[in-house]
Amino acid sequence: MSRNAKINTLLLALVAALAVLPLALGLGDHKEEPFAGADAEAETAITEIEPDYEPWFSPLYEPPSGEIESALFALQAALGAGVLAYYFGVRRGRRQGEERAAARAGSGSPAADADA
């Protein structure tokens, strides 16, 4: 592995460790509902501060179940990852094309040689 690839892998491993450690160490065990969303916790906190507060607007569309919701979140991540991968793919292809063209230009006119 090149030095670059090693550093990149290390970065990914660190991110993975940061995500897994809270789960592995059971840091959510003290909670009634471990690893709930911070936004849901904020809603609870609001109701604690102002018990009479009623949300005055509800979402126009609400995913009918947790499964559908996670599907939509996965879709969002997939769309983003797809565009990112497309970007890096295009760039890599372009660079390789340029390198090839440069190599060809460097060795005279190999296209003509190949044809002959």
Residue numbers of the site for another protein (CB under 8 A)?
2-4, 7-8, 11-12, 14-15, 18-19, 21-23, 27-31, 34-43, 45-46, 49-50, 53, 55-63, 69, 72-74, 76-77, 79-84, 87-88, 90-92, 95
Q: What CA–CA distance (Å, rounded) separates 71 from 113?
A: 55
CA distances from 66 to 29, 58, 61 (A): 22, 17, 14
Q: Which of 67, 113 has the CB closer to another protein?
A: 67
Least distance to another protein, CB of residue 106, Å: 19
Radius of gyration of the chain measured on its C-alpha atoms:
26
Q: Which of 21, 105 has the CB closer to another protein?
A: 21
CA distances from 22 to 25, 37, 42, 89 (A): 5, 14, 20, 34
**Chain centroid to CA 110: how far?**
43
Least distance to another protein, CB of residue 97, Å: 13
Least distance to another protein, CB of residue 88, Å: 6
